[in-house]
Amino acid sequence: MKRISMIIPVYNAEPYIRAMVESLQAQDWENLQILLSDDGSTDGSVDLMTALAEQDPRITVVVGPNTGVSSARNRALRLADGAYIGFADSDDILEPGYLHGLVSALEESGTDMACCGFHRHYVRSGKQDGLPTDGHDREVVDRDGMARLMLRPDGYTTVMWNKLFRRESLTRPDGGLLEFDETLHIVEDGEYILRSGVQSAVFFPDRLYRYYVRTSGAMYGAVNERKLTEPAARKKIVALTEDLSPETQNLAKMKYQKGIRDLMFHAVIDGDAAKVWDLRTELKTYAGELFASPALSTKEKIKYHVYYPIICLNLRHIGAFLMDRLSGH
């Protein structure tokens, strides 16, 4: 049984971390290295992680300053010694068979990366859905297909936590593991995967990960300086797809404009007119790819058309109403 290194960044996750660790301990895979990497938590997370490590020698606690998820993952990557490298978020849950399913897919396909589907729970509303949407079959793909399946809105997304990597695909020429760009705090995962040595991947729709959407997460809440690194990350992703098919390039560009409008929409709701003004010139960058994309539903296209006047006119109350009443989150 090959060793799996699981990297879990932690920031103020005291109410959730035990459930995540227990779901990992319950997996039918004994040869585990569990790296809990704290990102400067101010609650009782470190004490809880230390207690968990005392009970399970497979757990290593890494402590560092609050410099972001990329830094927290990098601190753990420097200690990871597994033949496979995986990631999870501290406030989620692994379904039974998560690790076995990913390893089996990797070994059967002979690819560099395996990716599964996931359940998604919106904590505030209690609603649930999942990705990929119905109609996806198991696929073994090259780098272009990998990027396409991650970038499609109905696909697997660029998150780290529904994927498992062969160590070799993340290894730099000097023998160390490829590290995340620590200047990026949002969409840093997609940039990392596309910059990695992954040349082939297997995707299967089984939903083996349970993701909880909380308004306190990195993607939600006030638009701060870390969230404002998203445009830079998405531009890097566009650049990293330049050697891929036109379809994949257009998906990356569509996601750029989609991300810009989402970010600005949240800034309007925050009442932060300065941030909206700073990003205004980006509203037309790849707008053509956004509205021409066959991957984006008509409902989504209408939504982003509606976002445009709300952003341009800084209609905070209308934006807040739409987010609260119509988003379903």
User: Domain of 98: which CATH number?
Assistant: 3.90.550.10
Whether 16 and 147 map to the same domain: the answer is: yes
* Domain-located, residue 219: no
Handedness of CA 207, 208, 213, 217 (dihedral sign): negative
* Domain-located, residue 218: no
* Domain-located, residue 280: yes
Whether 178 and 247 map to the same domain: the answer is: no
* Domain-located, residue 239: yes
List b or e across 119-144, with b for residues whose CB sees 16 or more CB atoms inside 10 angstroms.
bbbbeeeeeeebbbeeebeebebebe
Whether 247 and 299 map to the same domain: the answer is: yes
* Domain-located, residue 322: yes
* Domain-located, residue 220: no
Asked whether 243 and 139 are in contact (CB, 8 A), the reply is no
Question: Which residues, in sequence order, are CB contacts of 282 under 8 Å at separation 6+?
Answer: 231, 257, 260
Whether 200 and 270 map to the same domain: the answer is: no
pLDDT in tens, the chain (329 residues): 899 999 999 999 999 999 999 999 999 999 999 999 999 999 999 999 999 999 999 999 999 999 999 999 999 999 999 999 999 999 999 999 999 999 999 999 999 999 999 999 999 888 999 999 988 999 999 999 999 999 999 999 999 999 999 999 999 999 999 999 999 999 999 999 999 999 999 999 999 999 999 865 444 457 889 999 999 999 999 999 999 999 999 999 999 999 999 999 989 998 888 888 889 999 999 999 999 999 999 999 999 999 999 999 989 888 888 877 655 55
CA distance 110 to 100: 15
Rounded to a whole number of angstroms, the CA Rg of the chain reads 20
Whether 22 and 68 map to the same domain: the answer is: yes
Identity of residue 68? G
pTM: 0.94
Whether 60 and 138 map to the same domain: the answer is: yes
* Domain-located, residue 221: no
Residue 327: per-residue pLDDT: 56
Domain count, the chain: 2
Structural domain of residue 33, as residue ranges? Answer: 4-213
* Domain-located, residue 138: yes
Residue 325: per-residue pLDDT: 64
Whether 203 and 263 map to the same domain: the answer is: no
Among 182, 177, 229, residue whose Cα is nearest residue 71 = 182
Whether 30 and 171 map to the same domain: the answer is: yes
Whether 201 and 306 map to the same domain: the answer is: no
